[in-house]
C-alpha cells in the first residue's frame, strides 16, 4: 500500500504532469500537443509524461485517427486532484489572463459537476432548504422534498444508491460542493436549461441571468457577482 501511494504521489508531484491533470479536470479529452503547451514542455517530454500517467492509471488514452486523446481515468482521479489542491497551491495555468482565474473561482466544472462559489453556495442553500442532508462519511442523503425538486427539474437519480450524492472539498472555496451522480446530473441539467453556459474551451462556466433568477427563486440563493 505504501508503495502504491508513493507511486501515485510521485506521478502527481511533478509540475508538468500536475498541469496536465488539472487541464483535464473538466472531463474533456485533449491531444498530446495541447497538453504539451499546458505543461510548458516539448512534445517529446510531454509524450514521456503522458505514458507514465497512463501506466499509473491516472489517465486513459483514446486513439482517434492519427491523434491520441487523453482524459482522466475517472472521478476518483479528479477527487484526488481537488483534494491535493486544497493543501497546495494549484499551478497557474492562466497567468496571461487573470480574468480566467476569477472565472474559475466563481463557477467552473470539477470533472463533471459544478464547483467554485456557485457550487458551494448551491450546496449550502439546498441543505438549508432540506433538499439533502449530511449522511455517513462524506455522503449526502436526498430527502423526499429533494427528490420532488429534482423531478421538477427533470432529474431522475437513484438516491437509494450509496454514493449517489457526496461532498467534494472545493479547492478555491475550502467548502464542499456536490459530487457523485447527483452533481453530474445537476451540472448537465443546468447546461440544458440555460442556467449556466460554458466559457471558451476551459473549465470556467458562466451563470446566466436566467440561472441567477431561478436559483434565487427556487433556493433563495443570493450569489455575489463574478
151 and 109 in a common domain = yes
115 and 47 in a common domain = no
| Tally of domains within the chain | 2
133 and 50 in a common domain = no
pLDDT at position 88 is: 66
111 and 6 in a common domain = no
Q: Is residue 32 part of a domain?
A: yes
159 and 67 in a common domain = no
Range of the domain at 7: 2-77
119 and 20 in a common domain = no
Query: Burial code of 46-80, b = ≥16 C-beta within 10 A, e = fewer?
Result: bbebbebbeebebbeeeeeeeebbbbbbebebbbe
Q: Is residue 192 part of a domain?
A: yes
pLDDT at position 94 is: 41
CATH number at residue 23: 1.10.10.10
114 and 25 in a common domain = no
Q: Is residue 91 part of a domain?
A: no
Q: Is residue 89 part of a domain?
A: no
Give the Cα separation of 163 and 112 in Å (integer): 15
Half-sphere exposure of 85 (CA within 13 A, CB side): 25
39 and 131 in a common domain = no
pLDDT at position 65 is: 73
Instruction: Compute and round to an integer the Cα radius of gyration of the chain.
Output: 18
Which residues in the chain land under pLDDT 50? Answer: 1, 93-101
Cell 501515485 belongs to which residue?
8
Q: Is residue 209 part of a domain?
A: yes
Last residue of a domain, one of 27, 44, 77: 77
212 and 104 in a common domain = yes
Contact 105, 90 (CB under 8 A): no
SS (H, E, C) the chain: CHHHHHHHHHHHHCHHHHHHHHHCCCCCCEEHHHHHHHHCCCHHHHHHHHHHHHHCCCEEEEEECCEEEEEECCHHHHHHHHHHHHHCCCCCCCCCCHHHHHHHHHCEEECCEEEHHHHHHHHHHHHHCCCEEECCCCEEEECHHHHHHHHHHCCCCCCCCCCCCEEEECCCCCCEEEEHHHHHHHHHHHHHHCCEEECCCCCEEEECHHHHHHHHHHHCCCCCCC
Q: Is residue 82 part of a domain?
A: no
Each residue's pLDDT tens digit, 108-147:
888 789 999 999 999 999 999 999 999 988 899 999 999 9
pLDDT at position 204 is: 83
Contact 111, 137 (CB under 8 A): no
Q: Is residue 110 part of a domain?
A: yes
Contact 189, 155 (CB under 8 A): yes
175 and 103 in a common domain = yes
Contact 198, 191 (CB under 8 A): yes
186 and 133 in a common domain = yes
Amino acid at each position: 500500500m505504501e508503495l502504491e501511494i508513493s507511486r501515485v504521489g510521485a506521478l502527481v508531484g511533478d509540475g508538468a504532469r500536475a498541469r496536465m491533470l488539472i487541464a483535464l479536470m473538466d472531463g474533456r479529452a485533449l491531444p498530446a500537443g495541447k497538453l504539451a503547451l499546458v505543461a510548458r514542455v516539448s512534445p517529446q517530454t510531454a509524450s514521456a509524461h503522458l505514458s507514465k500517467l497512463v501506466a499509473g492509471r491516472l489517465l486513459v488514452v483514446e486513439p482517434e485517427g492519427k491523434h491520441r486523446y487523453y482524459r482522466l481515468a475517472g472521478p476518483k482521479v479528479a477527487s484526488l486532484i481537488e483534494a491535493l489542491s486544497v493543501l497546495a497551491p494549484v499551478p497557474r495555468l492562466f497567468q496571461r489572463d487573470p480574468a480566467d482565474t476569477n472565472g474559475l473561482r466563481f463557477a467552473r466544472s470539477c470533472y463533471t459537476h459544478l464547483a467554485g462559489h456557485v457550487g458551494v453556495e448551491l450546496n449550502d442553500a439546498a441543505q438549508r432548504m432540506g433538499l439533502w442532508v449530511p449522511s455517513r462519511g462524506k455522503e449526502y442523503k436526498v430527502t423526499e422534498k429533494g427528490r420532488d425538486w429534482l423531478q421538477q427539474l427533470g432529474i431522475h437519480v437513484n438516491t437509494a444508491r450509496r454514493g449517489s450524492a457526496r461532498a467534494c472539498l472545493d479547492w478555491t472555496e475550502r467548502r464542499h460542493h456536490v459530487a457523485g451522480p447527483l452533481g453530474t446530473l445537476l451540472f448537465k441539467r443546468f447546461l440544458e436549461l440555460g442556467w449556466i453556459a460554458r466559457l471558451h474551451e476551459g473549465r470556467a462556466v458562466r451563470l446566466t441571468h436566467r440561472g441567477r433568477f431561478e436559483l434565487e427563486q427556487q433556493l433563495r440563493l443570493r450569489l455575489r457577482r463574478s
